[in-house]
Amino acid sequence: MEVINKMVTLLPNVEVLKIINETRARETKKKKHDQDSKLSTLLFETSSYLNQTPVASQNEEHFCKLVEVLKPVKLTQAEILQIANLRPSSSIELQLIIEDCEERIKTEEQLELKSLQCYHRWRQNLWTRAKQPTDRKRANTEYDRAYFGFVLA
Protein backbone atom coordinates (compact mmCIF):
# COMPACT_ATOMS: atom_id res chain seq x y z
CA MET A 1 0.00 0.00 0.00
CA GLU A 2 1.24 3.49 -0.85
CA VAL A 3 0.36 6.82 0.73
CA ILE A 4 -0.88 9.09 -2.05
CA ASN A 5 -1.77 12.23 -0.08
CA LYS A 6 0.41 12.80 2.94
CA MET A 7 -1.04 14.64 5.92
CA VAL A 8 -0.28 18.29 5.39
CA THR A 9 -1.57 19.71 8.65
CA LEU A 10 -3.49 18.90 11.80
CA LEU A 11 -7.16 19.81 11.76
CA PRO A 12 -9.45 20.76 14.62
CA ASN A 13 -12.53 18.59 15.03
CA VAL A 14 -14.66 21.54 13.89
CA GLU A 15 -13.07 21.43 10.43
CA VAL A 16 -13.16 17.64 10.32
CA LEU A 17 -16.91 17.68 10.98
CA LYS A 18 -17.39 20.33 8.29
CA ILE A 19 -15.46 18.25 5.73
CA ILE A 20 -17.41 15.12 6.68
CA ASN A 21 -20.74 16.92 6.30
CA GLU A 22 -19.70 18.30 2.89
CA THR A 23 -18.56 14.85 1.75
CA ARG A 24 -21.80 13.25 3.00
CA ALA A 25 -23.81 15.85 1.07
CA ARG A 26 -21.87 15.06 -2.12
CA GLU A 27 -22.34 11.31 -1.57
CA THR A 28 -26.09 11.60 -1.06
CA LYS A 29 -26.43 13.52 -4.33
CA LYS A 30 -24.93 10.58 -6.22
CA LYS A 31 -27.11 7.82 -7.57
CA LYS A 32 -27.51 4.83 -5.28
CA HIS A 33 -25.34 2.52 -7.40
CA ASP A 34 -22.54 5.15 -7.58
CA GLN A 35 -22.28 5.59 -3.81
CA ASP A 36 -19.46 3.86 -1.94
CA SER A 37 -21.09 1.97 0.94
CA LYS A 38 -17.87 1.75 2.98
CA LEU A 39 -17.28 5.49 2.66
CA SER A 40 -20.89 6.20 3.63
CA THR A 41 -20.53 4.02 6.73
CA LEU A 42 -17.27 5.71 7.69
CA LEU A 43 -18.77 9.18 7.23
CA PHE A 44 -21.89 8.26 9.21
CA GLU A 45 -19.96 6.75 12.14
CA THR A 46 -17.47 9.62 12.34
CA SER A 47 -20.20 12.22 12.08
CA SER A 48 -22.24 10.48 14.79
CA TYR A 49 -19.23 10.45 17.12
CA LEU A 50 -18.31 14.10 16.53
CA ASN A 51 -21.91 15.23 16.99
CA GLN A 52 -21.82 13.82 20.53
CA THR A 53 -18.82 15.99 21.44
CA PRO A 54 -18.68 19.75 22.16
CA VAL A 55 -17.72 20.33 18.52
CA ALA A 56 -21.39 19.93 17.55
CA SER A 57 -22.18 23.34 19.06
CA GLN A 58 -19.17 25.15 17.57
CA ASN A 59 -18.02 26.54 14.26
CA GLU A 60 -14.70 27.64 12.73
CA GLU A 61 -15.11 31.20 13.99
CA HIS A 62 -15.43 29.87 17.53
CA PHE A 63 -12.17 27.93 17.09
CA CYS A 64 -10.36 31.05 15.79
CA LYS A 65 -11.54 33.14 18.73
CA LEU A 66 -10.54 30.41 21.17
CA VAL A 67 -7.04 30.46 19.65
CA GLU A 68 -6.95 34.26 20.18
CA VAL A 69 -7.95 33.82 23.81
CA LEU A 70 -5.23 31.18 24.34
CA LYS A 71 -2.42 33.09 22.55
CA PRO A 72 -1.15 34.97 25.63
CA VAL A 73 -0.65 31.66 27.46
CA LYS A 74 2.08 30.67 24.96
CA LEU A 75 0.96 27.13 24.23
CA THR A 76 2.20 25.07 21.30
CA GLN A 77 -0.02 24.60 18.28
CA ALA A 78 -0.63 20.96 19.21
CA GLU A 79 -1.64 21.92 22.77
CA ILE A 80 -4.10 24.55 21.52
CA LEU A 81 -5.56 22.03 19.10
CA GLN A 82 -5.98 19.44 21.86
CA ILE A 83 -7.64 21.98 24.16
CA ALA A 84 -10.02 22.96 21.35
CA ASN A 85 -10.83 19.34 20.49
CA LEU A 86 -11.00 17.79 23.95
CA ARG A 87 -12.38 20.74 25.97
CA PRO A 88 -10.71 19.66 29.21
CA SER A 89 -12.96 20.10 32.22
CA SER A 90 -10.47 19.52 35.03
CA SER A 91 -6.98 20.60 36.00
CA ILE A 92 -5.73 17.05 35.60
CA GLU A 93 -6.93 16.87 32.00
CA LEU A 94 -5.30 20.23 31.32
CA GLN A 95 -1.99 19.09 32.81
CA LEU A 96 -2.08 15.97 30.63
CA ILE A 97 -2.47 18.14 27.53
CA ILE A 98 0.13 20.81 28.38
CA GLU A 99 3.67 19.52 28.65
CA ASP A 100 5.49 20.74 31.80
CA CYS A 101 2.38 22.70 32.71
CA GLU A 102 3.46 23.88 36.14
CA GLU A 103 6.89 25.01 34.92
CA ARG A 104 5.76 26.75 31.72
CA ILE A 105 2.55 28.42 32.79
CA LYS A 106 2.22 31.03 35.52
CA THR A 107 -0.37 30.70 38.25
CA GLU A 108 -2.49 33.53 36.80
CA GLU A 109 -2.50 31.86 33.40
CA GLN A 110 -3.48 28.54 35.00
CA LEU A 111 -6.37 30.29 36.73
CA GLU A 112 -7.36 31.86 33.41
CA LEU A 113 -7.33 28.46 31.73
CA LYS A 114 -9.37 26.98 34.57
CA SER A 115 -11.96 29.74 34.24
CA LEU A 116 -12.04 29.05 30.50
CA GLN A 117 -12.68 25.37 31.32
CA CYS A 118 -15.52 26.35 33.65
CA TYR A 119 -16.91 28.58 30.92
CA HIS A 120 -16.93 25.74 28.39
CA ARG A 121 -18.45 23.33 30.89
CA TRP A 122 -21.15 25.88 31.71
CA ARG A 123 -21.80 26.58 28.03
CA GLN A 124 -22.07 22.88 27.18
CA ASN A 125 -24.50 22.30 30.06
CA LEU A 126 -26.55 25.28 28.94
CA TRP A 127 -26.53 24.03 25.37
CA THR A 128 -27.80 20.58 26.36
CA ARG A 129 -30.51 22.04 28.62
CA ALA A 130 -31.82 24.62 26.16
CA LYS A 131 -34.84 23.33 24.28
CA GLN A 132 -34.77 25.63 21.28
CA PRO A 133 -31.72 26.55 19.16
CA THR A 134 -32.65 30.23 19.56
CA ASP A 135 -32.51 29.87 23.38
CA ARG A 136 -29.05 28.34 23.08
CA LYS A 137 -27.79 31.09 20.81
CA ARG A 138 -29.23 33.92 22.92
CA ALA A 139 -27.80 32.54 26.19
CA ASN A 140 -24.41 31.84 24.60
CA THR A 141 -24.25 35.32 23.06
CA GLU A 142 -25.05 37.08 26.33
CA TYR A 143 -22.53 35.05 28.30
CA ASP A 144 -19.80 35.37 25.65
CA ARG A 145 -20.17 39.14 25.60
CA ALA A 146 -19.98 39.31 29.41
CA TYR A 147 -17.08 36.86 29.69
CA PHE A 148 -14.87 37.74 26.72
CA GLY A 149 -16.13 41.14 25.61
CA PHE A 150 -17.07 39.62 22.24
CA VAL A 151 -19.27 36.82 20.98
CA LEU A 152 -17.54 33.49 20.35
CA ALA A 153 -20.23 31.93 18.16
| Cα 38 versus chain centre, distance | 26
Q: Which of the residues in the chain have pLDDT under 50?
A: 136, 153
Write down the pLDDT at residue 20. Answer: 92
pTM for the full predicted model: 0.63
Level-2 CATH architecture, domain 57-148: Up-down Bundle (1.20)
Distance of CA 123 to CAs 87, 91, 101, 134, Å? Answer: 11, 18, 25, 14
Write down the pLDDT at residue 153. Answer: 46
Write down the pLDDT at residue 139. Answer: 54
62 burial (CB, 10 Å; 0-12 / 13-18 / 19+) is buried
Q: Where are the domains of the chain?
A: 13-52, 57-148
